[in-house]
Amino acid sequence: MDFFKHRRRQKTGVRPRQIIFEKENPENTYITWEDKMKPRIDLDDGITREEYQSLASRWDEMISLAEEIIWRNYLDPNSDDLMSEVDSFPDIRFLTGNYYVGDVSYGYIYRDKKHRAYHIKEGRLRHKHHNGKEWISEWLPLDSPEITRYYQILLSLHLTGDEGGKEDDYMGLDLEAEFLKLDDPIEFGILSHDVI
């Protein structure tokens, strides 16, 4: 696309619209626009069927929250945060407003009193971090009173664009929610967005 044609495209803004693919994902693998399959579902080892069903029953709520984030951060033409310069990313002028769910993960995250994340490894809780020179692991027992277990939902969305004149994957958007009880309000935060 030449520079002048690119400059003539406007920041029009469209509301997010979820594309739901009906094709099964029998291998439960990572998907792309070309695959046009149902999302990959990942469950932590410890999560029970009842917990999963309770979390999954809130799907419409999760999608509504995700769409508000997409609108507010990437599609609203009145946002001052959206880039519209040549070679910026993401560029609202290329986004179609369409998106689909690529992955959803239901599980737990464990946090200490400083809110540092721990994960189960080798039958214990491990906090792994980098000190600038090397990776350091800090360990606690599973029943440590220092730790609080939270439910965690990770939602990986694929936003489509028409950068080359045809709709395709444009941007990946990863959202995360953590909450203490199954019926607590869900609040997603943006983990990352990147080029697909």
pLDDT at residue number 86: 61
Measured between alpha carbons, how far is residue 154 from residues 68, 100, 117, 182 in Å? Answer: 16, 14, 15, 15
At which residue do the structure tokens 């027992």 appear?
141
Task: Give residue-wise pLDDT tens across range 71-123.
Answer: 999 898 887 656 555 667 777 778 899 999 999 999 999 999 999 999 999 99
CA atoms within 13 A on the CB side of 115: 2
Query: 41 CB contacts (<8 Å, ≥6 apart)?
Result: 28, 103, 104, 105, 106
CB 41 within 8 A of CB 28: yes
Cα–Cα distance between 100 and 1 in angstroms, integer? Answer: 26
pLDDT at residue number 93: 79
Cα–Cα distance between 35 and 166 in angstroms, integer? Answer: 16
CA atoms within 13 A on the CB side of 190: 13
Give strand ranges (E) for the chain: 17-18, 40-43, 95-111, 117-121, 124-130, 135-140, 148-161, 168-179, 189-195
pLDDT at residue number 84: 56
Q: Across the strands, what pairs with 150?
A: 109
The DSSP output letter for 62 is H
Q: Across the strands, what pairs with 128?
A: 137
Task: Give residue-wise pLDDT tens across range 8-48.
Answer: 345 566 899 999 999 999 999 999 999 999 999 999 988 99
**For range 173-195, the mean pLDDT:** 96
pLDDT at residue number 28: 97
**Residue 187 amino acid letter:** E
Closest C-alpha among 32, 72, 67, 11 to residue 160: 32
pTM as predicted? 0.87
Burial of 160 (0-12, 13-18, 19+ CB in 10 A): buried
Average pLDDT of the chain?
90
**For range 185-195, the mean pLDDT:** 94
